[in-house]
Amino acid sequence: MKKLILFLLLVIWMTGCGGEEAEKDEGTETAQSKEMKKDMDEKAEEASDTDNLEDKGTDGKNNLGDMKVELSGKASIKEESVIIDGESNLLPGTFIYSSGVTDSGFASSNFINKAEVREDGSFTFEFDGISKSTTVKLKLYNTKDETKKHYGENLEKVTGPQKYKTENHGEFEVKTEFYINADMPMPYTIPIEIPKWEKEPEDYGDANVWMEAKVDSDHRYLYFHGKSNLVEGTQVGGNLRKASGIIDAFSFGHTRVNPDGTFELRVPYHQLKQGMYMPIQVKPKNNSWDDLCQHMESKGKNGKAISLKTIKMTSISNTL
């Protein structure tokens, strides 16, 4: 009987030990499983972060240093201040230069400044409030050695719709512009957008020049939205005229043709009267850019440059 009791106690003790060992093994296995799961989760998270970075690297403004430069953002116009919150895909540390020109054609010292691009491509300008309507320009300030090495000495490596020719052959500028109307009720916001140019006309740059324009008004300015086969950089514009042909005083404007032959011309006026018209002109003396002169020379007859003059008399009677 005693042997039977001892045998049962031995079995119970062994079973208990085995149970503890099983629980210990199970606990160890659970801990290991949790550790492995944690490690796998961390790796998955790292992979996800890498994918996100790769996605950002192919997505416009997050693709810092891309040669297809993009400048955008918004301008908040208040009576006491003008704040520009900009976005870009420029290299961090790149400088952006700001300037402004009033409707009267004078430079505005209020907008002369520069801002440094942050690590995420953003930048900020803050100016005092303005009393005169002004066109503000933001352009890539190509003065740092790193910037020149990356984008080219004359920004020749840059691509995209915000790269423009300058008056000097082989030299470019990367810019965006927007117009602040001081007569609008404040505060208001102006979007700074990346332009989408149209396809160049088939006869782009042809010696047989044509031009057309639509016009609308906000009761202070006439806005001509033009198309042409003129090459980029050509200066167009003129004076608003009365029905008699006499120039309407202080009602004039000029602009440069965009890369696709389009143009936007703003002309101030005092009072529109029946019969008024706007001759939109191209004058050689106002078009001394190297590339344009070479183009005019190459398209001329017998080695003589094309004589560009009044192209079209655009009626504005529909705005009355």
Domain ranges of the chain: 64-192, 211-319
158-161: Cβ within 8 A, 24+ apart:
158/67, 158/68, 158/69, 159/67, 159/68, 159/69, 160/67, 160/68, 160/69, 160/70, 161/194, 161/195, 161/196, 161/197, 161/259
CATH top-level class of 64-192 = mainly beta
Distance CA 209, CA 230 (A): 7
Q: What residue has token string 């005083």? A: 249
The token pair that represents 133 in the structure block: 């309507």
Amino acid at 197: W
194-199: Cβ within 8 A, 24+ apart:
194/70, 194/71, 194/72, 194/161, 194/162, 195/161, 195/162, 195/258, 196/161, 197/161, 197/258, 197/259, 197/260, 197/262, 198/227, 198/260, 198/261, 198/262, 199/260
The token pair that represents 52 in the structure block: 């996100």
The token pair that represents 157 in the structure block: 């490596």
pTM of the model: 0.73
Topology agreement, domain 64-192 and domain 211-319: yes
The token pair that represents 23 in the structure block: 């629980």
pLDDT in tens, the chain (320 residues): 444 333 333 333 333 444 444 444 445 445 555 555 555 555 444 444 434 434 444 344 569 999 999 999 999 999 999 999 999 999 999 999 999 999 888 999 999 999 999 999 999 999 999 999 999 999 999 999 999 999 999 999 999 999 999 988 899 999 999 999 999 999 999 999 999 999 999 999 888 888 889 999 888 899 999 999 999 999 899 999 999 999 999 999 999 999 999 999 999 999 888 889 888 888 766 666 667 666 666 665 544 444 444 444 455 544 44
Distance CA 94, CA 84 (A): 17
Q: What residue has token string 């520069």? A: 114
CATH classification code of 211-319: 2.60.40
